[in-house]
Amino acid sequence: GAVVSQHPSRVICKSGTSVKIECRSLDFQATTMFWYRQFPKQSLMLMATSNEGSKATYEQGVEKDKFLINHASLTLSTLTVTSAHPEDSSFYICSARDLASGDTGELFFGEGSRLTVL
């Protein structure tokens, strides 16, 4: 099946620094990728929709200047957590939908990135 690669899988950073997380679709193209945040034993909270070649669409309550999203190609989206604080510590997961499956196909998830901000 389709594979989405996400890295780093784990990152520890100091408060105030920025961290970039990459999400790549390895064997398909995706005009849209989704970024989620997942707290322990909780559901997936959609943060933003990454759109290839255009600005990301952020969900209500998510600061766009805090979580910078770039979708420069059909296979790569990045999420940068800027000026990270301990409350940003979480599990971040990306997902992508194969361009060929349209708007309602299954989502392929990356392995997730666990961010710890000291």
Partner 1 sequence: GQQVMQIPQYQHVQEGEDFTTYCNSSTTLSNIQWYKQRPGGHPVFLIQLVKSGEVKKQKRLTFQFGEAKKNSSLHITATQTTDVGTYFCAGSSSNDYKLSFGAGTTVTVRA
Return residues touching partner 1 (CB under 8 A): 32, 34, 41-44, 46, 49, 93, 95, 103-112
We find the least distance from the C-beta atom of residue 77 to partner 1, in angstroms, to be: 15
Neighbours of 71 (CB within 10 A): 22
d(CA 64, CA 58): 7
Report, in angstroms and rounded to the nearest whole number, the Rg of the chain calculated over CA atoms.
13
Amino acid at 19: V
CB of 97: closest distance to partner 1 in angstroms?
8
Shortest spacing between CB 109 and partner 1, in angstroms = 4
In the bound state with partner 1, the residue whose beta carbon lies nearer, of 63 and 106, is 106
Q: Which is nearer to partner 1, 8 or 105 (CB)?
A: 105
Which residue, 66 or 109, has its beta carbon nearer to partner 1? Answer: 109
Nearer to partner 1, 14 or 60 (CB): 60
Strands 113-117 and 90-97: antiparallel
Q: What is the maximum alpha-carbon separation in the chain?
A: 41
Provide the 8-state DSSP code for 28.
S
Q: Which pair of structure tokens corresponds to residue 31?
A: 């005009």
Minimum Å distance from CB 59 to partner 1? 9
